[in-house]
Amino acid sequence: MERVTVGAVNGVPVDLAAISASENVFRLGFFLKTGREPSTPEEVEMIRGQLRAYQCNSIRGRVISAAEERERQRLGISVTRQEGIQDYQQRLRRGNVEKAAAAARAQANAVITALDEVAAGKDPREVYSRIVAPTGLELRHWEWIVLQAARDPTSRENIKKFAVIPGAIPADAAPGGWERNVALERVRKAVAEELAAQDPEFARFYRKREAGGSISEAQVRYVERKQIEWWQQRYREVNLVIYDEELARACSASIQSLLGLPVAEKTK
């Protein structure tokens, strides 16, 4: 597939494929709500609009990540791989993720087995009642899966991915996003401390809340507003350029309203 660059964030190219999702994802959402495929021009256009919104949110996420990374470097914050794994393991225990992962694996394996029976000529609804329903998957979801499996053989491979979801991270796991989560948490705390050093009122409200104390709704809003304003300024410092004029127009209002970031357009 040809690589299509639609913009850049701090000089790093943004490829169209990297910020997009399959249109089938949004068609699935429509099907689950209505029980049918989108058919009218208005419905098809709505699906395309959802895809465009996804692309805009992806660009926004890259801007946020660029600002966060700049602050991490400025503050000299680093996280070891082991610290990241330990933090993630704690989150797993708190959220009972291992149980959820086991349920997802069981459901995916049941679906794969059921699809094999459907491919062999068995009635999809009978197979659903016998194999899939006990896992908690709704009938309408199963019907969509059968439809997709008939239309796209690769959809089965996607289901297989859920059959191997790990319930925990082994000690020799490759580096992953959990290190970044720990670093980001430290960055945001460090930024809050900088704000506290500059704003006594912020310091009083913020530190009381961090210590487990109760603050008023107005005080919560004050703390959050100060943090949002600080980060929005950092977002404005990110150099975002969108080459694709249609994408720039579609995303400009969203980015400006959420981040206060002017979008530069550039014609190829």
Tell me: the pLDDT tens digits for 134-146?
Answer: 988 888 778 778 8
Looking at the structure, do residues 102 and 158 belong to the same domain, yes or no? yes
Alpha carbon 250 to chain centroid distance?
A: 20
User: In the sheet that 264-265 helps form, which strands lie side by side, from edge to edge?
Assistant: 12-15, 5-9, 240-242, 264-265
Q: What percent of the chain has pLDDT over 70?
A: 84
The pLDDT tens digits for 113-125 are 998 898 888 888 8
1: pLDDT strictly greater than 60: no
H or E segment to which residue 6 belongs? strand 5-9
Q: Report the C-alpha gap between 237 and 67 in whole angstroms.
A: 8
Looking at the structure, do residues 114 and 52 belong to the same domain, yes or no? no
Token pair of 36 as six digits: 């049918």
Mean pLDDT to the nearest integer, 30-55: 86
- End-to-end alpha-carbon separation of the chain, Å? 20
Domain count, the chain: 2
- The answer to whether position 200 is within a domain reads no
Taking phi over 0 as left and psi of -120 to 50 as alpha, with beta for the rest, 38 belongs to: beta
Closest alpha carbon to 192 in 154, 156, 145, 224: 224
189: pLDDT strictly greater than 70: yes
Looking at the structure, do residues 55 and 92 belong to the same domain, yes or no? no
Domain housing 51:
1-76+238-268
18 DSSP 8-state letter: G
Q: What is the pLDDT of residue 154?
A: 72
Q: What is the pLDDT of residue 168?
A: 54
